[in-house]
Structure formats: C-alpha cells, structure tokens
Structure 1
Amino acid sequence: MKADPAVQRRLLDLAAVDGELARAEHRRRTLPEQAAVEEAERALRAAADAVVVAQTALSDLDRDVAKLDREVEQVRTRETRDRQLLDNGSVSAKQATDLQHELDSLERRRAVLEEEQLEVMERQEAAGIDLRHETDAHAAAQTALEDAVERRDGTLGDIGTTEARRGEERTALVAELPADLVALYDKIRAKSGVGAGELVGNRCGACRLEMDRSELRDIQGAAPDDVVRCENCGAIVVRTGK
C-alpha cells in the first residue's frame, strides 16, 4: 500500500486521539470512584440490616413490657378486690383467712413481676439507644453513598466530555484520510491496540521495541510513500525523519 508521507504523518494524530480514547475507556472500566460507590452501597445495606435487627429487638421488648404491664395490672386489680372484701367485713373468718393468704401470694407475685418489669424496661431503654445509633449510622451511610455517587458521576461526566471531544476529532481526521489506509490502521489497532507509531531512531513508537539492523535498513530504504509496518507488532511505522 502507498500513501503520501504527509498523509501517513496524520496517522500519528489519529493514533494520539485513539490513545486518549483508549485511556478514557480504561479509566471508565477501572474507575476508583465506582469501587467507592459499590463499597458505600455494601455499607448502606449492612446499616439497613442493622436497623432492622435493632427495630426487631426493640419491638420484642415493647411487646414484653406491654405484657408485663397487663399482668401487673391484673394482679393489682385482684389485690384491690380482695382488700375491699376484707375491709367491708362481708366474708366469714375462713374466707378472710383465705383472702389474706391470696393477698400475700399476690403481693409476692406482683413484686416478682415488677422486678422483671424494671429489668425489661432497662433493656427496652438500651434497645432504643441502639436503634437511634443504628438509624444515625444508616443516615450517615446514605449520605456517604450519595457523596460517592456524586463524585463518580462527576468523573464519568469528565470522561464523557473527553470521549465526545476526541470522538469528534477522530471523525474529522478519518474524513481527511484515505479509506483504505484507515481500514488497515483500524484492523491493526483492533488486533494489537495501536495502529501506528512514529519511527524514532531504531525504535517503533507503537510497541516501543528496537528494530534489528536489517528491518531498520528495509524500512529506511523503502520509498517515502510506501506504507511500512513493524515486524514486532504489525503497526504502521510512520517515518518523520527523526
């Protein structure tokens, strides 16, 4: 294939644009900000799970406290009834003795219930503190995720702007170059990642490897409009006289 030397030098501009586009794509795929978003999402899920656990624990204790409240109230109601029967003197001596025994039992039962009630209420208070702590942690995790998403989206926006600008430059460059030369360049680039490189001394600008003397001699001896390629990487070698 042949192409005017000036046209071949334009391939270096195209390669530079493609290199920047490739770096932008690599950055998009390996974005640290995306990893930060994913980590923040995991932290938020863990925080949400912790809130559910704390809510469940507090709900169970609320139910226990309510149950104990009912039991204590039932005992007190029974005590009140028994004392009223004793106080109004409407029962026999044996019934009075039985009522007194029952009152003693009820008092002991109430003492046990009230002690248990106090213990459960203390646990309920601690569970409420835990829930507030987990809720605050969840809110902080939500904020951290929002911040991470904002940073990622900002970076993606910058990458998108670069891709759009370089894409326009590439379109303009391709329009100026012969179709067969661009087709060859794109075929090479699809295979090895770089379609063309400048010959600097005895080194290929595409693969950065030094050429042996015979290859270098062949390239330097080729006609100026010959499209020559590197034996190592297959890229088009652009001769600029450097």
Structure 2
Amino acid sequence: GVAAELDKISAMEAQISLALEEIGAKEQEAIDSFQKQGGDLKLAIAKLEAARGQVEAKVSPQLLDVYNRTAARSGVAIGVLDGNRCGACRTVIDGGRLIDLRNQAPLGMCPSCKRLLVIA
C-alpha cells in the first residue's frame, strides 16, 4: 500500500538527487575547461600582440597606414603574388600590370583588390 508507494518515491528521489549531482559535476568540469581554454587564448593573444608590436616597429608608418586601412576595409590586408594571380583575391594580373607589379618587388599592390602583395 502506502508504505510501498513511499518507498518507490524515496528511491526515485534518491535517483533524481544522484542525477542532479552528476549533472552539477559535469557542468563544473565544463566551466573549468572553458575557463582554462579562455585563459590559454588570452595568453596566446597577448603573445601575438607583442610579436605584432615588434614587427610594426620595423615597418614604415606609411606602409603600416596602408596595411591598417586595407585590413579595416577587407579583413585580409596582404597576400602573396602566386604566379600571375593575387594570392588574396585570386584575380589574374595580366601583361603590363604584372610587369609593373614585379618591378615593385618585394612589395606591391594588387590592381584589383588593392591589397598589399608580397612579390618573391
């Protein structure tokens, strides 16, 4: 009767309590993992920003200005001349434009997308 039903309810409450504890432990593991990954990412970002600062110190202010404006406009500011194509927009650069661009080595500008191009 009633005692048997109460025992079933008590057993069910114990199962629910155990499940809630397991869920809480898994949630805490996920939080800890997320915080560690976030800390690792912040450290990596700080290192990259420091390295970027060292590179920026070696670049002319005019070139840095072109780079920053191009990055703000299109996200990717620099590509590599790949044969006769811009490595960023993949546009074919033909004839005289390609000759002019190669004469600007080691750094030119894509006539199509206006990104900086490293010319080997």
Local SS of the residue matching 1:176: coil
Size of the aligned set, in residue pairs, is: 119
Q: Which residue of 2 aligns with 1:185?
A: 67
2:108 corresponding residue in structure 1: 228
Q: CA deviation at 1:203?
A: 2.6
Corresponding letter in the other structure for 1:205: G
User: SS at 2:76's partner residue?
Assistant: coil
- Equivalent AA in structure 1 for residue 57 of structure 2: A
Q: Specify the code of the residue in structure 1 equivalent to 2:111.
A: E
1:213 aligns with 2:97: no
Encode CA deviations 1:76-119: one digit per residue, 9 max, x unaligned: xxxxxxxxxxxxxxxxxxxxxxxxxxxxxxxxxxxxxxxxxxx2
2:3 maps to what in 1?
A: 121
Per-residue CA distance 1:210-242 (angstroms, 9 max, x = gap): 42313323312x4448x63213432111222xx
Aligned ranges for residues 122-137 of structure 1 at < 5 Å? 122-137=4-19
Runs of 4+ in 1 over 3 A off after TM superposition: 222-225
Aligned to 2:85: 203
Cα distance in 2 for residues equivalent to 1:186 and 1:120: 77
1:161 paired with 2:43, answer yes
Instruction: Please give the alpha-carbon distance, in whole angstroms, between the structure 2 residues aligned to 1:236 and 1:223.
Output: 11
Contact preservation (8 Å) 2:81, 2:87: yes
Taking CA–CA contacts closer than 8 Å with sequence separation of 6 or more, which of the two structures ends up with the larger relative contact order?
Answer: 1
Counterpart of 1:188 in structure 2: which amino acid?
T
Q: Which has the larger radius of gyration?
A: 1
Higher-strand-fraction structure: 2
Separation of aligned partners in 2, 1:127 and 1:148: 31
Map 1:93-104 onto structure 2 (within 5 A): none
Structure richer in helix, relative to its length: 1
Which position in structure 1 is the counterpart of 2:22? 140
Q: What runs of 5+ residues in structure 1 fail to find an aligned partner? A: 1-118
**Deviations, residues 170-207 of structure 1 (Å, cap 9, x unaligned):** 01111121112111101111121111122131232333
Structure 1 CA distance for aligned equivalents of residues 34 and 84 of structure 2? 43
CA distance in 2, matches of 1:223, 1:141: 62
Q: Secondary structure at the match of 1:129?
A: helix
